Amino acid sequence: MCDADGVSSASGPLDGPDVRRPRPGFDAELRGGLALVGGMFPPTITPDLIDFMRTSYAGPPIEELLAGRAISVRDEVFPGHCGDEVIASVFTAEGVTGARPTVLFLHSGGLMFGDRFSGLDRVIEWVERWGIVLVTIEYRLAPEFPDPYPRDDCYAALEWLASDADRLGIDRDRLMVAGASAGGGLAAGVALAARDRGGPAIRAQLLDYPMLDDRGATPSTADFDGVGVWDRVSNETGWQALLGAAYRTEAVSVYAAPARATDLTGLPPAFIDVGSAEIFRDEAVDYAAKLWRAGGSAELHVWPGGFHAFDIFAPHAALSRGMIATRDAWVARVLLD
Amino acid sequence: MSLRVIACFDELVRGGVNVQALLSAGASMAGSVAGYADEQSGRTLRVGPDGEALAPEEPAATDRVCKTEDGLSVWLEKAGPLAMNDEMILERLALSIGLRFGRNPPDGRRGLSAALDPDLPRPARAQLLCALGLRPTEQHRIVCLPLFATWRRHPHTVEDVMNTSFGPIHVAVVGSTADVVDARPCGVGAAMALEDLDRSFRTAMVCLRLCNPPAVPIVLADDYGGLVELLATSPAGPLLDVDPLDEIMAHPWGAETLDALIRAGSIRQAARLADVHHSTMQSRIEEIQQALPFDPLDGFGRTRIGIAYLVWRLPHSPVLSAPPTAQQR
């Protein structure tokens, strides 16, 4: 679960004596956080753990999220992939009227678990603080609903928000897609699809430690087996559940695995953050670099010693507070009046 | 949860984090403001559950304050008597802040961890264990468990979370009758005198790594005797006879067939143990014989395959990464 030292090798503690490439250790404060996380979110998630994770990683009850906040929420239904009904929760600040900046939030959970209330603590603060509209959707999950269900549900949400903007109190010019982990990959895919299909304008894309690449070929993917949160095997479990037979073939759509996209021109400004001690480090850095080379705007933050989603699992740690404050500052800059 | 609290503060102390980080961890776990005041420096710091520092204030009269003899006060801003978990958080928080300022024992370890340190003189170790309330005339065993182990019966005993090269491990001292612990997965060390409990600890760690739940949830050192102590003291480097097992263990039938072969006195008995037909066992054994550079049925070959099988299992142990399943919870 935890490294014995701050600096460690890529061979896990059970891998025996072979010494592999050195890798960054976890931040000392985050190691304390990991000691608490262990049983709830095991480092290695195999298909037989999907049911356990669906219970363990379920979002908090909505009353708990809203307790003590001047926020209203209502559920809406919109047509998702194939026109099927998909639920969305729309959060608005009490007493705020008119067209407001809006965030379409796509939750985390490896494409297989989590719900529209998972990992919502940080983004829900924006509703109260800035009066934004927050929309979080129950996109359908693999393996029961493989690609393209999840991403098409997400893209359909974007079209729904743009087409129903007046009724929902949405400022069409300030629509941001945001997501964490699996949701970050979906958000990047929505931005690509909106560009290619001439869809609704997206003001910005917020990609928190995004899951972008099914190919699993980066060094960081190999470096964190059996430690932290979301290791190589977990990632393979998620991608296989989503892609089935297409997994790691040329048949995979760039909208499902945006790291496969060769053309990143004409995309909205991106904010990408990631930990240095997690498997998504290299694909996140690569995606930012590709955006720059395509003339795009990208703000990239790699937090030293951060494990995957450390801001969700250990929000009190100094590194997490830095990550959250930095992200909030960017959102305020690109989205607010 | 209380063990997770211990493990968390152990990591923080080992990582040398500052007082705000310690307070924010305590505040986050307790869900309330945590504070400390130091008479020596005159410094006061309060931190909320979100990790943000708050204005320095004295604790309220109703807050539970933990004071040390040398003027350090640590508190949680919660009214009324604290729940057990909060007491544990406060105790560990105060201990950790004391360590941060160098006011606790120099090596910063608690009793059990030092008492099992082979580098300490044997009488000193026995003394530490006596101080923890263990009877010097009786034999004891160390049991080792992952933090996520499920307990059916949890005896009142000397226990702690220790940092090992396999991560934080729950370590407990029990009497020599091994049936006092019913928890899984669990490695039960050999019974030893107090000054030799470091040996019992090492055998318990090997036993824990030999567990393979749900089929093998508990492994007793007594079942392997000197073998398990050999494994505990042997270097982690490569060993002749072990590598060829990769090929055998890659078969779906590999582990159960080897297990049956080693336990049985004959192929017929091995077939019964593995619950397969005699001819199936015969053909599997032929395949095993082909994969090995020696005959596992002949003379020292029996010993070699037995040792190689145990050594192979250690680095391949699933037990420390296996999380609890939904049923276990």
For residue range A306-327, list pLDDT tens digits in order.
Answer: 999 999 999 999 999 999 999 9
Quote the ipTM score.
Answer: 0.82
Q: In this complex, do A6 and B15 lie within 8 Å of one another by their Cβ atoms?
A: yes
Pick B21's closest partner by Cβ from A1, A39, A318. Answer: A318
Residue B76, φ and ψ in degrees, nearest 5: -110, 135
The β-bridge partners of A205 are A177, A270
What does pTM read for this prediction?
Answer: 0.68
Name the residue of chain A whose CA is nearest to B22's CA: A29
The answer to whether the Cβ–Cβ distance between A32 and B4 falls below 8 Å is no
Q: What is the pLDDT of residue A267?
A: 98
Distance separating alpha carbons of residues B203 and A183, to the nearest angstrom: 45
**Each residue's pLDDT tens digit, A94-104:** 999 899 999 99
Quote the pLDDT of residue A10.
42
Q: Which of A316, A324, A328 to mutate to test the interface with B (most CBs of B within 10 A)?
A: A316
Task: Pick B7 or A237 by higher pLDDT.
Answer: A237
The residue-averaged pLDDT of B46-55 equals: 95
B276: closest CA among B302, B253, B251, B299?
A: B253
Q: How far is B318 from chain A (nearest CA, A)?
A: 9
Picking from B8, B170, B245 by the largest number of A CB atoms within 10 A of its own CB, the best residue to mutate is B8
Domain residue extents for chain B: 2-100, 113-233, 245-313
Provide CB contacts within 8 A for B256, sequence distance 6+.
B274
CB-based contact B321 A36, cutoff 8 Å: no
Give me the mean pLDDT over the B286-290 stretch: 93
Q: How far apart are CA B271 and CA B305, in angstroms?
A: 17
Q: CA nearest A313: which of A65, A51, A32, A111?
A: A32
Pick from A52, A226, A317: CB nearest B326: A52
Integer CA distances (angstroms), A164 to A73, A126, A127, A137, A156, in order? 17, 22, 19, 15, 12
Mean pLDDT of A153-162: 98
Q: Which of A14, A27, A42 sits opposite B323 (nearest CB)?
A: A42
User: What is the percent of chain B with per-residue pLDDT over 90, rounded to a whole number?
Assistant: 47
Cα B126 to Cα B115: distance, rounded to the nearest angstrom: 7
Q: Is the pLDDT of residue B102 over 70?
A: no
pLDDT of residue B328: 39
A36 chain-B contacts, CB cut-off 8 A: 4-5, 7-8, 29
Give the whole-angstrom CA distance, residue A306 versus residue A29. 10
Chain B residues contacting A via beta carbons under 8 Å? 4-5, 7-12, 14-17, 20-21, 24-25, 27-29, 49-52, 147-148, 163-168, 209, 236-238, 315-317, 320-326
Identify whether the C-beta of residue A192 lies closer than 8 Å to the C-beta of residue A5: no
- Residue A13 is predicted with a pLDDT of 39
The single-letter code of the amino acid at B35 is G
Which residues of chain B neighbour A29 with C-beta distances below 8 Å? 12, 15, 17, 21, 25
pLDDT computed for residue B266 by the predictor: 87
Q: How high is the pLDDT of residue B109?
A: 52
Helix (H, G, I), strand (E, B) or coil at B68: coil
Lowest mean pLDDT among A118-127, B154-163, B187-196, B252-261: B154-163
Contacts of B8 (CB under 8 A, 6+ apart): A32, A33, A35, A36, B25, B29
Neighbours of A337 (CB within 10 A): 9
- Kindly compute the dihedral angle of the four CA atoms of residues A90, A94, A99, A101, in this order, to the nearest 10 degrees: -70
pLDDT at A230 exceeding the cut of 60: yes
Cα gap A204→A298, rounded to integer Å: 10
Distant-in-sequence, close-in-space partners of A329: CB < 8 Å, separation ≥ 6 = none
Residue of A nearest to B148 (CA): A39
Whether residue B1 has pLDDT greater than 60: yes
If one compares B85 and A50, the residue with the highest pLDDT of the two is: A50
Portion of chain A with pLDDT greater than 90, in percent: 87
> Does B25 sit within 8 Å of A316, measured CB to CB?
yes
Say yes or no for a CB contact (<8 Å) between A28 and B25: no
| Whole-number Å distance between alpha carbons of A308 and A238 | 15
Cα angle A175, A180, A186 (rounded to 5 degrees) comes to 65
Mean pLDDT within A210-233: 94
**Is the predicted pLDDT of residue B108 greater than 50, yes or no?**
no
Closest chain A residue by Cα to residue B169: A1
CA atoms within 13 A on the CB side of B60: 9
CA-only gyration radius of chain B, Å: 25
**Record: contact A315-B28, CB cut-off 8 A:** yes
Give the dihedral sign, CA B88/B154/B142/B326: negative
Span A55-81, mean pLDDT?
A: 94
Residues from A contacting B (CB-CB < 8 Å) are 1-2, 4, 6, 12-17, 27-29, 31-36, 38-39, 42-44, 49, 51-52, 55, 226, 314-318, 320-321
Looking at residue A258, what DSSP letter applies? G
Q: Which residues pair with B171 in a beta bridge?
A: B144, B160
User: Which of A217, A167, A165, A161 lies closest to A190, judged by CA?
Assistant: A161
Is B17–A321 a contact, with Cβ atoms under 8 angstroms apart? no
**Residue range A42-65: mean pLDDT, rounded:** 91
Asked if B148 and A318 come within 8 Å (Cβ–Cβ), the reply is no
Nearest to A14 among B7, B147, B317 (CB): B317
Asked whether residue A2 carries a pLDDT value surpassing 50, the answer given is: no
pLDDT per residue over B109-152, tens digit each?
A: 567 888 898 888 888 888 788 777 788 788 999 999 987 777 77
Max Cα-Cα span within chain A: 63
Sign of CA dihedral A151, A157, A159, A162: negative
CB A176 within 8 A of CB A102: yes
Residue-wise pLDDT tens digits, B266-276: 889 999 999 99
Which of these, A192, A196, A194, lies nearest to A160 by C-alpha position?
A194
Chain A residue at shortest CA distance from B29: A36
Cβ separation of A314 and B28 shorter than 8 Å? yes
| Mean pLDDT, residues A240-263 taken together | 98
Q: How confident is the model at residue A18 (pLDDT cuts 50, 70, 90)?
A: very low
Of the two residues A257 and B102, the one the predictor is more confident about is A257
Kindly report the nearest CA distance between residue A8 and chain B, in angstroms.
Answer: 11
* Closest Cβ–Cβ partner in A13, A35, A55 for B7: A35
Average pLDDT, chain B: 86
pLDDT of residue A5: 37
Higher pLDDT, B321 or B50: B50
* Signed CA dihedral, B47, B48, B50, B54: sign only: negative
Q: What is the mean pLDDT of residues B59-64?
A: 82
User: B265 vs B293, which has greater pLDDT?
Assistant: B293
Average pLDDT, chain A: 92
| B12, B28, B50: residue with CB nearest A28 | B12
Q: Domain A26-335 is classified in which CATH homologous superfamily?
A: Alpha/Beta hydrolase fold, catalytic domain (3.40.50.1820)
B147/A49 touch (CB, cutoff 8 Å), yes or no: no
Q: Work out whether the CA dihedral A319, A322, A328, A333 comes out positive or negative.
A: negative
Peptide bond into A43 cis (omega under 30): no
Give the number of A-B residue pairs with CB atoms closer than 8 Å: 116
Any bridge partners for residue A176, and if so which? A103, A204
CB nearest to B51's CB, from A4, A36, A316 = A316
Contact A30, A305 (CB under 8 A): yes
In the predicted structure, residue B329 carries a pLDDT above the cut 50: no
pLDDT in the model for residue A39: 62
A16 → closest Cβ in B12, B315, B325 = B315
B323 and A49 within 8 Å at the Cβ level: the answer is yes
Among chain A residues, the shortest Cα distance to B11 is held by A32
Say if the Cβ atoms of B147 and A35 lie within 8 Å: yes
Say yes or no for a CB contact (<8 Å) between B316 and A6.
no
Structure confidence at residue B320 (pLDDT): 81
Rounded mean pLDDT, A40-50 = 89
Higher pLDDT, A21 or B236: A21
